[in-house]
């Protein structure tokens, strides 16, 4: 059923990602302008992630008629997965799958409007109709009611919830000209609270340098517990990321959450060496007309904050090569801050060259009393 009320009115809210899950949604990759060399290297990494998540919760994998046989072959031995054939334009489940909300018993989806991170203003590809239809189509497949929020442009990577009334966003993204320019800042905050069950929106000024999503919050700052966040950081004041992270730190140190608590901020260093596109990688893309293209030496928005919580585990990006030391440092720090979880390092270069990372390709379905 398509609902025209708001989740908050109905007593629904978005739980924190670190809360118990019922399942995870992913999309098997194939777009030639995002995934190099026929998407095979990315499909192998996606499959590794699916295997790890499927050990602790159900995984729904969106496939096309082309990727369905590939996914079946690569995941033939994996239990606890379901393939669902729905056409999509790309594999960013965080941004195009529904945002799932619950009242503690029932789970429902939210269908935001998706316009490829900016539409005709500064979007990243020319055609996104299939992506925009995904949320309703998936909810229908899962027999879930869905809230119609097509009046509001939003991607899942641009919001974090602590599950206790606090919503974390960045101004650079949500106030961008390609999202909802007809709305004032307080009106955007109201839409977020109405749909996510929030009481307060924390507006971080910026995100990760050169993040083509207009700096999604999930790349720069994430909740790991109520009033406790991880913030992407660098001590190098000459790095273009420094002023962006410093502005976020200043904001967080002078803010409180919806319950009036001060934030505990953990600084998680970005890779010591910038992660950049190589000539070999550039040669592996096939860009279509109207699609954002890449160039050799382009700095990618690499951040360890783009991790994903699943039940009892945390999947953490690793960039390898000259950042092997940075990778180990990130594992050590996250192991300290999330000591109750098993940290699973994932080689993520094949995801970051697509434009995002582990959090960007996953979307959680919170636990409810009714099993989907």
Active site residues: 360
Distance CA 261, CA 202 (A): 13
- Spatial contact of 311 and 362, defined as CB atoms under 8 Å apart: no
- Spatial contact of 195 and 243, defined as CB atoms under 8 Å apart: no
Structure tokens at 135: 């949320």
The CB-based long-range contact list for 275-284 (8 Å cut-off, 24+ gap) reads 275/299, 275/300, 275/302, 275/319, 275/323, 275/349, 275/352, 276/300, 277/353, 281/36, 281/353, 284/36, 284/37
Structure tokens at 112: 């935001």
- Spatial contact of 319 and 275, defined as CB atoms under 8 Å apart: yes
Residue-wise burial string across 185-218, b where 16 or more C-beta atoms lie within 10 A, e elsewhere = eeebbebbbbbbbbebbbbbebbbbebbbbbbbb
Query: What region, left, alpha or beta, does residue 38 occupy, with left being phi > 0 and alpha being psi -120 to 50 degrees?
Result: left
Report strand pairing: 342-347 vs 313-318. parallel
Cβ neighbours of residue 270 closer than 8 Å, sequence gap 6 or more:
208, 232, 233, 234, 239, 241, 302, 303, 304, 326
Question: DSSP 3-state assignment of 98?
Answer: coil
Instruction: Name the E strands within the chain.
Output: 2-3, 21-27, 58-63, 81-85, 99-102, 107-113, 146-153, 160-161, 166-170, 200-204, 221-225, 228-233, 264-269, 308-310, 313-318, 342-347, 363-366
């Amino acid at each position: 059923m398509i609902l025209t009320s708001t989740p908050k009115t109905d007593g629904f809210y978005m739980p924190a990602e670190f809360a118990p899950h019922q399942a995870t949604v992913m999309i098997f990759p194939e777009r030639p302008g995002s995934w190099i060399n026929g998407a095979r290297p990315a499909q192998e990494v996606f499959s590794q992630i699916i295997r790890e998540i499927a050990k602790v919760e159900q995984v729904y994998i969106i496939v096309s008629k082309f990727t369905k046989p590939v996914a079946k072959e690569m995941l033939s031995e994996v239990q606890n997965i379901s393939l669902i054939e729905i056409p999509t334009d790309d594999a960013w489940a965080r941004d195009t799958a529904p945002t799932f909300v619950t009242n503690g018993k029932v789970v429902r989806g939210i269908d935001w409007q998706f316009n490829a991170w900016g539409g005709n203003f500064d979007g990243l590809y020319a055609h996104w109709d299939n992506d925009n239809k995904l949320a309703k189509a998936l909810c229908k497949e899962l027999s879930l009611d869905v809230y119609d929020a097509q009046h509001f442009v939003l991607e899942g990577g641009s919001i974090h919830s602590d599950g206790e009334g606090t919503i974390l966003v960045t101004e650079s993204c949500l106030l961008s000209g390609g999202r909802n320019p007809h709305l004032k800042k307080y009106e955007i905050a109201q839409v977020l609270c109405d749909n996510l069950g929030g009481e307060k929106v924390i507006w971080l000024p910026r995100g990760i340098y050169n993040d083509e999503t207009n700096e999604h919050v999930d790349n720069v700052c994430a909740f790991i517990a109520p009033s406790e966040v991880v913030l992407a950081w660098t001590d190098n004041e000459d790095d273009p990321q420094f002023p962006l992270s410093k502005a976020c730190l200043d904001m967080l140190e002078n803010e409180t959450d919806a319950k009036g608590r001060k934030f505990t901020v953990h600084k998680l260093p970005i890779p010591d060496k910038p992660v950049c596109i190589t000539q070999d990688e550039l040669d592996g893309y096939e860009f279509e007309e109207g699609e954002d293209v890449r160039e050799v030496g382009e700095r990618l928005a690499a951040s360890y904050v783009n991790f994903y919580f699943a039940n009892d585990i945390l999947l953490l990006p690793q960039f390898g090569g000259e950042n092997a030391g940075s990778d180990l440092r990130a594992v050590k720090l996250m192991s300290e801050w999330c000591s109750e979880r098993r940290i699973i390092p994932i080689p993520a270069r094949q995801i970051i060259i697509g434009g995002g990372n582990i959090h960007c390709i996953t979307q959680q379905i919170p636990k409810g009393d009714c099993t989907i």
